[in-house]
Structure 1
């Protein structure tokens, strides 16, 4: 794949409605623009460091996540983290579909008289107009899946840049409407010092949660790298750079809505409606729709579809698995919670907390247990060192269970609610430490102390 193709695919992955709304909603939590920008930068720095650490094995051995995870979990138990990753991808499909359906609804609202009145009729917790728009967008995904990936491949090369053009247009509007940069950055924080730090860590964890799946399956990408240097440089340019730029644009635009409308509008479709211009609304909505369709099928259908095929190879092919994935996605019901900034980050924290222990176990296995050396043949052998007990490494499952409990305990125990802001970090740390100690009880302390000395 050429450098141009790689960069545009990354743009298509990063530049989508959910990424825009997640960054913009930081202002909805009461942050100032400067606080929101700092939160985005910190989250992306932590994210890229975690990806670098977990990407080395993929580049070194040229094998993807579902195979690498066998070393720590065993051939059979490895299906559990793979299945968790699949369901998280399906969850993101549901969220992206709901966000994209708003663009569909905006266009239909221009074409169909009385469309807004349908919102007075409620179906499954949403207005009938929203339900119809969601159904239309869902059927569009089903059509693409049923005809294979060739239908959207050409979208991936220009969907991201198209959204950037739209974003730059909205940034220009914000600067003009606010009469310069000053007013956009002058809005004070609505959080006290104590409140800010709690919201800051919760938001950092939530922003990491958006890409927590990629921390796990980054070997799926780096296994094609020609060298470790290439994969490190490629990630540094591809993800944090584009993600930070896009988040900055979102925050500036959302700040502009505060100046102009007196309230933060982090929903880009809702913002487009405020211009009361059919041309702007149709072109903008089309850009968002294409970008969402591109990232949703490529990132959130292909992966779980192949994971499901791996589980049921005799019963499923790509089309059947893809259709099953998007049917399951309906049960996540994002229309019930996605429009609330606090709920967004609470759920993102849960995702990070669930995936964090698996990342910690993989990192602990590669660096501390295996000392960066895997037995390639053992990945494909039922009787090798990664077979454990009939394919099950129960120590990895215990570590994952303890890590998950610690990462999510603040969500269920009110007295420990403050811990929930650190869910991903607790999950990674607990998964790594418990796994290393269970796997190498005599040498784990030495391994961890040596690693600490090297870092110092």
Structure 2
């Protein structure tokens, strides 16, 4: 990679600070193992477990559920690889790169939307992880459950203490910046695999072999199956839709394109499918053992009535959920907030603000409704998909993989458009969102909602291409032309 990739000349202070600047080559020390471990940490968590397990609860067989997981992972890794390339090449985060397509002012809108979604997910994951905290405390303090009678704002005192404890753990992890995040992820991800394998062993034992688990029948057929299949695929993609956008926040630290390609390829589709396989098998085992599917792993652990099992299992889930929440739902909005006020905020300050805002959500009021979760995550995917499509088309087709680095940080550069706003990008985004979500509001088109993320990313990207193909014909700086293409 050319050293010029890190050179910024006379940046505007309102568009630049050290956290938004290109990462110098000597500080790009994330190899493929780092990315594999990070993805392992992000996908091995309670919410991912419940979403995979709920496929069985929705009526799918084991094979059908695994097919839905594999399909969603192929689509996700393709989009993530494409949107990782510019971050790796230029060492820039998502809030800066998106200025190329939306303008340096217009970029604030999709950045804030994505930040809002990430903070929303932070609240959801924090609530889910707090249940594991409560399970650990319950083993140590037998009277823990009695505190539930002191309830306010929809939760008992025990749940509030668990929630607050888990929130403080997030503040501790982010308080020392991105390097602590990387080190934490290196051991947090594999921990929950050990728990999962133990529960798979239990499921196989209780079913007297793998055969009965794979024999759990599907209650879906024909059109009903395909409707559920694509709705669940869109839902699973929706869980990671924010990361499709902000993946440059992580790949900007990569040593090379090869490192991020291999690391993410191993970490997302392979490990996500393996983790989903474990959760699906375990959920099938709960049907045989208890006569009903239990999709919440904390609830399942309590069924064993063994303090050691509950303590070790809940601690593993606690660490796993903490790891995904920090990387997926704190790192990204932190950079987004820095982008708004670069002269006032750094990573740690912005991260703390993000998790404080997350307290304003109330996931405990709706989280336990599986249908609500899939509807919400599907809408998230449909909303963010068009923006992902626009970014990918802008980099690979409109700009032909060549950005003018300095223009990201000045107000008179290539990405100024009209007073800092590219209205064509907003038109393309709105068209994509309307097409993606129209099935929610027009009953006769309800079937389209099952494909919302795919429609959003395709329609948003195509619309942007048609609107921009005759507009962008600007010279690229000589230093940019010298860089090796990915």
CA separation of 1:330 and 1:40: change in aligned 2, threshold 3 A: same
Whether 2:416 is the aligned partner of 1:384: answer: no
Match of 1:450 in 2: none
Q: Hey, what's the Cα distance between the residues in 1 that align with 2:274 and 2:134?
A: 28
Match of 2:426 in 1: 397
Query: In the TM superposition, what is the alpha-carbon distance from 1:274 to its structure 2 partner?
Result: 0.5
1:352 aligns to what SS in structure 2? helix
Q: Hey, what's the Cα distance between the residues in 2 that align with 1:422 and 1:327?
A: 34
CA separation of 1:316 and 1:227: change in aligned 2, threshold 3 A: closer
Q: Hey, what's the Cα distance between the residues in 2 that align with 1:38 and 1:365?
A: 32
Q: Could you list the per-position Cα deviations for residues 93-134 of structure 1 after superposition, in whole angstroms to 9, with x for gaps in the alignment?
A: 111111110111112223334433443554323344323322
Q: Hey, what's the Cα distance between the residues in 2 that align with 1:72 and 1:412?
A: 29
CA separation of 1:8 and 1:382: change in aligned 2, threshold 3 A: same
Asked if the contact 1:102–1:130 (Cα under 8 Å) also holds between the matched residues in 2, the reply is: yes
CA separation of 1:203 and 1:114: change in aligned 2, threshold 3 A: same
Matches within 5 A, 1:336-355: 336-355=365-384
Unpaired segments of 5 or more residues in structure 1?
Answer: 444-456
Match of 1:360 in 2: 389
Equivalent in 217, 230, 233 of residue 201 of structure 1: 230
Asked if the contact 1:28–1:341 (Cα under 8 Å) also holds between the matched residues in 2, the reply is: no
Whether 2:210 is the aligned partner of 1:181: answer: yes
Match of 1:81 in 2: 110
Q: Hey, what's the Cα distance between the residues in 1 that align with 2:180 and 2:404?
A: 39
Asked if the contact 1:75–1:387 (Cα under 8 Å) also holds between the matched residues in 2, the reply is: yes
Query: In the TM superposition, what is the alpha-carbon distance from 1:389 to its structure 2 partner?
Result: 0.5
1:331 aligns to what SS in structure 2? coil
2:359 aligns to what SS in structure 1? helix
Asked if the contact 2:249–2:332 (Cα under 8 Å) also holds between the matched residues in 1, the reply is: no
CA separation of 1:313 and 1:129: change in aligned 2, threshold 3 A: same
CA separation of 1:137 and 1:404: change in aligned 2, threshold 3 A: same
Whether 2:246 is the aligned partner of 1:217: answer: yes
Match of 2:73 in 1: 44
Matches within 5 A, 1:285-434: 285-434=314-463
Equivalent in 160, 169, 176 of residue 189 of structure 2: 160
Query: In the TM superposition, what is the alpha-carbon distance from 1:363 to its structure 2 partner?
Result: 1.8
Normalised by the size of structure 2, how large is the TM-score?
0.85
- Comparing 303-312 with 209-218, which one deviates more in the overlay? 303-312
- What number of residue pairs does the alignment pair up? 443
Query: In the TM superposition, what is the alpha-carbon distance from 1:397 to its structure 2 partner?
Result: 1.1
Match of 1:436 in 2: 465
Asked if the contact 1:155–1:290 (Cα under 8 Å) also holds between the matched residues in 2, the reply is: no
Match of 1:236 in 2: 265
CA separation of 1:356 and 1:2: change in aligned 2, threshold 3 A: closer
Q: Hey, what's the Cα distance between the residues in 2 that align with 1:384 and 1:391?
A: 10
Query: In the TM superposition, what is the alpha-carbon distance from 1:358 to its structure 2 partner?
Result: 0.4
Normalised by the size of structure 1, how large is the TM-score?
0.90
Query: In the TM superposition, what is the alpha-carbon distance from 1:230 to its structure 2 partner?
Result: 4.1
Match of 1:252 in 2: 281
Equivalent in 125, 133, 156 of residue 154 of structure 2: 125
Query: In the TM superposition, what is the alpha-carbon distance from 1:429 to its structure 2 partner?
Result: 1.7
Asked if the contact 1:29–1:341 (Cα under 8 Å) also holds between the matched residues in 2, the reply is: no
Q: Hey, what's the Cα distance between the residues in 2 that align with 1:324 and 1:121?
A: 29
- Comparing 227-236 with 191-200, which one deviates more in the overlay? 227-236
Q: Hey, what's the Cα distance between the residues in 2 that align with 1:294 and 1:230?
A: 21
1:384 aligns to what SS in structure 2? coil
Query: In the TM superposition, what is the alpha-carbon distance from 1:84 to its structure 2 partner?
Result: 1.9
CA separation of 1:341 and 1:323: change in aligned 2, threshold 3 A: same
Equivalent in 286, 302, 314 of residue 273 of structure 1: 302
Query: In the TM superposition, what is the alpha-carbon distance from 1:85 to its structure 2 partner?
Result: 2.0
Asked if the contact 2:36–2:264 (Cα under 8 Å) also holds between the matched residues in 1, the reply is: no
Unpaired segments of 5 or more residues in structure 2?
Answer: 1-29, 473-486
Match of 2:311 in 1: 282
Asked if the contact 2:35–2:264 (Cα under 8 Å) also holds between the matched residues in 1, the reply is: no
Match of 2:50 in 1: 21
2:360 aligns to what SS in structure 1? helix
Q: Hey, what's the Cα distance between the residues in 2 that align with 1:194 and 1:344?
A: 22
